[in-house]
């Protein structure tokens, strides 16, 4: 019988089907962070329980730590230092691997889980963070869990859950100039709504997905949760195997040979049936930005806020007007030229080396607009070191960006920092929810290149019109 | 305080702030009902984020309904809000909370459940519950019962005068509530949740009944996928 990629991974992890219809699913890896992992490990120890297999559990610091240069354990988050110190203590006591601040392998959980080869194709991974679906880019299944599930995961190596339905999204054709994976996923969500994939396991497929490099695939999978999906994943191919095989925690020798054989089977069979299918023609995708307070409120950068009689489906007129009031916008207002107060490049969505390179190509030889605050937070130490080795830090700093230490940072008030009330921010992050980047802050989501072009212009700008210095440095 | 109507209910409701949130068998409980008959009590109201700064699930009872329960002066707590239902003397030892539609909607914070339990509630009765909140209740030994509006109104009317003397019996073995006037109301909860509560299994204990299955799976999988294991 034909199986989907997701079926193959999921079905091979079912320990037991339970009477109530749920399934006990084996987890290959659990990744913790200081905000939830500290509470879960503490609570587990208080209950007299143990981590069942400490070798498969990893932890980092990203949600509460600050990202200022020269940082330590202090943070602007009230009471935050206790979470950092508890994470460190409980990780040591439980015997799990912690990538602490100061470690050359430290960074945002979903970045380092891939960089270190902790998540591999065909694995099931869980983490108390909704963007765990990022790791689907490796052909793995990952999803976010709450505190009780987190304790359950590390105490039993399993989770109890129902198998989700499935959706395939095909991207056909080729991406146009200046169009990135971020624009693909914003376009998808805008067209099919933020609940378009509600609860489904989403496989991205098609020639335009196969053409993406690994880092772009992480961006595409990262925002599956913004589409309402349970998880998002991409079948592993030669690029995936080349990415994975050199990683520190990846298998070697005979184990690698066995793994390669298993990984080659990880694709949806011909004739495999999905509950839903969506097809997108990449010719329809332009650089995209959001205007509202949901990722579905996205249009091409040359577009405008919807007219009063054409607001998004599922929203009432009152909600639409309330969104525009929050965002300080009018119906029909053009987005190009909208004046900005700040720009942010970072987060598990877009803080990898290729993201920083794309932004740096635009920033090189340019300056951010006067009065605009611009911050870049590389997603991991490995990204930061690689960027600095190429001199990208100089490009960002000379352009007027702050160059930060890795962490979740200004994506959601992590580290206790936010933008000000009414401040308009262009951001390479994943959520434009009210207050997420600071009380009253107005977020416009976009690709790193669009963020950079807009930071230079001082207003929302079309990256295709940006002056890019082409001479090699 | 709850009257022990069955040996298996060895629970004396403990309002201590240091008691770990633990799982005890729930079969029957005869308790005091506190009415909070409003709709859409969200988890931000149940426990505001400023009250959940501890690296722990314990001691959160103090923060329960903090925005409503205390009086404030410029953001600083100055005392108890004597108008708030749980601060009224007749409800100080309430075990059962009665509310309206969509109780526990909003943020997924599990702290809302931990705070209700730590405060001393064992049973929540409402017209409906937020989905994530209801799952969190089951995982933490808090019985959440959905009943029609008229049943909730009837329970409120029966307990309004002298709630301490006019207790409600919650019988999970029979899936029935009994009001102080003897009238009974059937209720339904998911069978897996009922099983966990009746046996005092917490979420993890429930799964650990299948530990041998997990051991067998891991052993076989280590041979099949040696590359995946650590």
Residues in chain B within 8 Å Cβ distance of A43: 56-57
Count chain A–chain B contacts defined by CB atoms under 8 A: 101
Question: Residue B125 falls within a domain, yes or no?
Answer: yes
Smallest CA-to-CA distance from A62 within A299, A378, A330, A454 is with: A378
Flag if A16 and B210 touch (Cβ within 8 Å).
Answer: yes
Range picked from A142-151, A289-298, B14-23 for highest mean pLDDT: A289-298
Residues in chain A within 8 Å Cβ distance of B228: 28, 120, 122-123, 259
The answer to whether B108 contacts chain A (CB < 8 Å) is: yes
Comparing A155 with A317, the larger pLDDT belongs to A155
- The distance from CA A124 to its chain's CA centroid, rounded to whole angstroms, is 17
Q: What is the pLDDT of residue A310?
A: 80
Q: How far is CA A177 from CA A76, A468, B133, in A?
A: 40, 13, 45
What ipTM describes this predicted complex? Answer: 0.94
Q: What is the pLDDT of residue A162?
A: 87
Compare CB distances from A155 to B53, B204, B213 and report the shortest one's residue.
Answer: B204
The DSSP line for A386-449 is HHHHTTHHHHHHHHTEEE--SSSGGGTTGGG--PPTT-EEEESSS---TTTTSTT-EEEE--HH
**Which residue from A minimizes the CA distance to B23?**
A47
What would you report as the CA-atom Rg of chain B, rounded to the nearest whole angstrom?
19
Flag if B226 and A258 touch (Cβ within 8 Å).
Answer: yes
Q: How confident is the model at residue A466 (pLDDT cuts 50, 70, 90)?
A: confident
The answer to whether A130 contacts chain B (CB < 8 Å) is: no
Q: What is the distance between the alpha carbons of residues B53 and A151, in angstroms, rounded to a whole number?
A: 19
Q: What is the pLDDT of residue A22?
A: 86
The answer to whether A26 contacts chain B (CB < 8 Å) is: yes
Q: What is the distance between the alpha carbons of residues B137 and B203, in angstroms, rounded to a whole number?
A: 10
The region of weakest confidence among A195-199, A253-257, B76-80, B106-110 is B106-110
Q: What is the pLDDT of residue B5?
A: 37
Question: Residue B1 falls within a domain, yes or no?
Answer: no
The DSSP line for A217-243 is HHHHHHTTGGGT-SEEEE---HHHHHH
Q: What is the pLDDT of residue A198?
A: 86
Distance from CA of A40 to the nearest CA of B (A): 8
Distance from CA of A434 to the nearest CA of B (A): 14
CATH number, domain of B155, equals 3.20.19.10
Give the pLDDT confidence of A18-47 residue by residue, as tens digits.
887 889 999 999 999 999 999 999 999 988
Distance from CA of A458 to the nearest CA of B (A): 35
Residue B61 sits at the vertex; the CA angle it makes with B193 and B39, to the nearest 5 degrees, is: 65
Residues in chain A within 8 Å Cβ distance of B60: none
The region of weakest confidence among A392-396, A406-410, B191-195 is B191-195
- The distance from CA A204 to its chain's CA centroid, rounded to whole angstroms, is 15
Q: What is the pLDDT of residue A408?
A: 96
Q: What is the pLDDT of residue B1?
A: 37
pLDDT over 70, % of chain A: 98
Smallest CA-to-CA distance from A236 within A203, A264, A201, A273 is with: A264
Smallest CA-to-CA distance from A181 within A432, A402, A352, A400 is with: A352
Q: What is the distance between the alpha carbons of residues A455 and A79, in angstroms, rounded to a whole number?
A: 34
The SS3 call for residue A34 is coil
Flag if B227 and A78 touch (Cβ within 8 Å).
Answer: no
Beta-carbon neighbour count of residue A329 at 10 Å?
Answer: 18
The answer to whether B200 contacts chain A (CB < 8 Å) is: no
Distance from CA of B90 to the nearest CA of A (A): 34
Largest CA distance in chain B: 67
Strands A166-172 and A201-205: parallel
B62: containing domain: 28-199
State how many domains chain B has: 1
Beta-carbon neighbour count of residue B19 at 10 Å?
Answer: 14
Instruction: Give B180's contacts (C-beta < 8 A, 6+ positions apart).
Output: B158, B159, B165, B166, B167, B168
B96 phi and psi angles, rounded to 5 deg: -125, 130
Give the pLDDT confidence of A70-99 residue by residue, as tens digits.
999 999 988 899 999 999 999 999 999 999
Q: How confident is the model at residue A313 (pLDDT cuts 50, 70, 90)?
A: low
Flag if A146 and B20 touch (Cβ within 8 Å).
Answer: no
Q: What is the distance between the alpha carbons of residues A174 and A100, in angstroms, rounded to a whole number?
A: 41
Residue B178 DSSP code: E
pLDDT over 90, % of chain A: 89
Work out the average pLDDT over A133-149: 94
Strands A373-376 and A401-403: parallel
CB contact residues (below 8 A), chain A span 166-225, against chain B: none
Q: What is the distance between the alpha carbons of residues A68 and A414, in angstroms, rounded to a whole number?
A: 12
User: Does the structure show a pLDDT above 60 at A106?
Assistant: yes
Question: Residue B222 falls within a domain, yes or no?
Answer: no
Q: What is the pLDDT of residue A342?
A: 98
Question: Residue B84 falls within a domain, yes or no?
Answer: yes
Strands A373-376 and A342-345: parallel
Strands A288-290 and A298-300: antiparallel
Q: What is the distance between the alpha carbons of residues A330 and A378, in angstroms, rounded to a whole number?
A: 34
The region of weakest confidence among A117-126, A396-405, B3-12, B217-226 is B3-12
Which residue is listed with tokens 């790791």? A135
Q: Tens digit of pLDDT per residue, chain B (230 long)? A: 343 333 333 333 333 333 334 467 899 999 999 999 998 888 888 998 778 777 888 889 999 999 999 999 877 899 999 999 999 999 999 999 999 988 998 777 889 999 999 999 999 999 999 877 888 898 888 999 999 999 999 999 999 989 988 999 999 999 999 999 999 999 999 888 898 899 888 889 889 999 999 999 999 999 999 999 98
Question: Residue B164 falls within a domain, yes or no?
Answer: yes
Question: Residue B227 falls within a domain, yes or no?
Answer: no
The answer to whether B215 contacts chain A (CB < 8 Å) is: no
Residues in chain B within 8 Å Cβ distance of A258: 225-227
**Would you tell me the crossing angle of helices A181-192 and A214-222 to the nearest 10 degrees?**
30
Domains of chain A: 5-161 (3.30.499.10), 166-241+259-284 (3.40.1060.10), 288-465 (3.30.499.10)
Flag if A152 and B203 touch (Cβ within 8 Å).
Answer: yes
Mean residue pLDDT of chain A comes to 95
Q: What is the pLDDT of residue B52?
A: 74
Q: Retrieve residue A25's tokens.
A: 């699913």
Flag if B140 and A148 touch (Cβ within 8 Å).
Answer: yes
Instruction: Give A56's contacts (C-beta < 8 A, 6+ positions apart).
Output: A27, A28, A29, A30, A157, B229, B230
Q: What is the distance between the alpha carbons of residues B117 and B112, in angstroms, rounded to a whole number?
A: 9
Q: What is the pLDDT of residue A413?
A: 84
Residue B105 DSSP code: B
Work out the average pLDDT over A264-277: 97
Flag if B218 and A26 touch (Cβ within 8 Å).
Answer: yes
Q: What is the distance between the alpha carbons of residues B154 and B157, in angstroms, rounded to a whole number?
A: 5
User: Does the structure show a pLDDT above 50 at A420?
Assistant: yes
Distance from CA of B107 to the nearest CA of A (A): 11
**Which residue from A minimizes the CA distance to B192?**
A20
Flag if B227 and A256 touch (Cβ within 8 Å).
Answer: yes
Q: What is the pLDDT of residue B23?
A: 66
Q: What is the pLDDT of residue A266?
A: 98
Work out the average pLDDT over A102-109: 98
Using the Cα atoms of residue A67, residue A385, residue A88 and residue B119 in order, give the sign of their dihedral. positive
Q: Retrieve residue A39's tokens.
A: 């509470």
Question: Residue B15 falls within a domain, yes or no?
Answer: no
Smallest CA-to-CA distance from A121 within A140, A146, A142 is with: A140
């Amino acid at each position: 019988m034909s199986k989907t990629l997701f079926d193959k991974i999921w079905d091979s992890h079912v320990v037991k089907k339970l009477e109530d219809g749920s399934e006990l699913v084996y987890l290959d890896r659990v990744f913790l962070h200081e905000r939830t992992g500290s509470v879960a490990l503490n609570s587990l120890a208080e209950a007299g329980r143990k981590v069942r297999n400490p070798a498969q559990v990893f932890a980092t610091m990203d949600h509460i730590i600050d990202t200022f240069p020269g940082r330590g354990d202090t943070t602007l988050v009230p009471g935050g230092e206790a979470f950092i110190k508890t994470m460190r203590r409980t990780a040591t006591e439980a015997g799990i691997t912690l990538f602490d601040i100061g470690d050359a392998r430290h960074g945002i959980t979903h970045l380092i889980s891939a960089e270190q080869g902790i998540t591999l194709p065909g694995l099931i991974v869980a983490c108390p963070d909704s963007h765990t679906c990022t790791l689907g880019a490796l052909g793995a299944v990952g999803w976010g869990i709450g505190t009780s599930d987190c304790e359950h995961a590390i105490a039993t190596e399993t989770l109890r859950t129902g198998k989700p339905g499935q959706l395939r999204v095909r991207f056909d054709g080729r991406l146009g100039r200046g169009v990135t994976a971020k624009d693909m996923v914003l376009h998808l969500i805008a067209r099919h709504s933020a609940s378009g994939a509600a609860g489904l396991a989403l496989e991205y497929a098609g020639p335009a997905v196969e053409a993406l490099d690994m880092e772009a695939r992480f961006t595409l999978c990262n925002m599956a949760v913004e589409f309402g999906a349970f998880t998002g994943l991409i079948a592993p191919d030669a690029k995936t195997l080349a990415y994975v095989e050199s990683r520190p925690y990846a298998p070697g020798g005979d184990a690698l040979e066995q793994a390669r054989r298993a990984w080659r089977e990880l694709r949806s069979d011909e004739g495999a049936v999905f509950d839903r299918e969506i097809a997108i023609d990449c010719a329809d995708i332009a650089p995209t930005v959001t205007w509202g307070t949901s990722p579905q409120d996205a249009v091409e950068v040359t577009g405008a806020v919807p007219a009063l009689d054409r607001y998004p489906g599922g929203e009432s007129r009152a909600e639409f007007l309330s969104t525009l009031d929050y965002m300080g916008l009018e119906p029909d207002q053009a987005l190009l030229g909208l004046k900005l107060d700040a720009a942010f490049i970072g987060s598990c969505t877009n803080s990898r080396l290729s993201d920083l390179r794309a932004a740096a190509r635009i920033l090189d030889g340019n300056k951010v607009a006067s009065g605009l605050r611009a911050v870049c937070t590389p997603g991991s130490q490995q990204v930061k070191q690689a960027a600095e080795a190429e001199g990208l830090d100089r490009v960002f700093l000379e352009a007027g960006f702050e160059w930060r230490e890795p962490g979740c940072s200004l994506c959601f008030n992590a580290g206790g920092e936010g933008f000000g009330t009414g401040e308009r921010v262009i951001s390479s992050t994943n959520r434009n929810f009210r207050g997420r980047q600071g009380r009253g802050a107005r977020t416009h989501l976009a690709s790193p290149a669009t963020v950079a072009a807009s930071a230079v212009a001082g207003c929302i700008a079309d990256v295709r019109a940006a002056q890019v210095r082409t001479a090699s440095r | 305080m709850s009257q022990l109507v069955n040996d298996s209910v060895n629970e004396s409701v403990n309002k201590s702030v240091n008691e770990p949130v633990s799982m005890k068998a729930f079969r029957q409980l005869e308790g005091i009902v506190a009415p909070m008959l409003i709709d859409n009590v969200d988890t931000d109201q149940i426990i505001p984020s400023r009250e959940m700064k501890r690296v722990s699930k314990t001691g959160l009872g103090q923060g329960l309904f903090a925005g409503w329960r205390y009086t404030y002066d410029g953001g600083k707590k100055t005392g108890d809000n004597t108008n708030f239902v749980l601060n009224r003397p007749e409800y100080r030892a309430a075990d059962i909370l009665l509310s309206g539609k969509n109780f526990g909607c909003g943020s997924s914070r599990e702290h809302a459940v931990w705070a209700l339990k730590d405060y001393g509630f064992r049973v929540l009765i409402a017209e409906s519950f937020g989905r994530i909140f209801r799952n969190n209740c089951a995982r933490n030994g808090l019985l959440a019962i959905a009943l029609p509006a008229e049943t909730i109104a009837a329970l409120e009317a029966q307990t309004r005068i002298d709630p301490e003397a006019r207790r409600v019996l919650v019988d999970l073995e029979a899936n029935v509530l009994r009001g102080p006037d003897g009238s009974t109301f059937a209720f339904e909860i998911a069978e897996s949740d009922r099983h966990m509560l009746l046996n005092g299994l917490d979420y993890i204990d429930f799964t650990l009944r299948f530990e041998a299955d997990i051991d067998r799976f891991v052993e076989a999988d280590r041979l099949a996928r040696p590359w995946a294991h650590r």
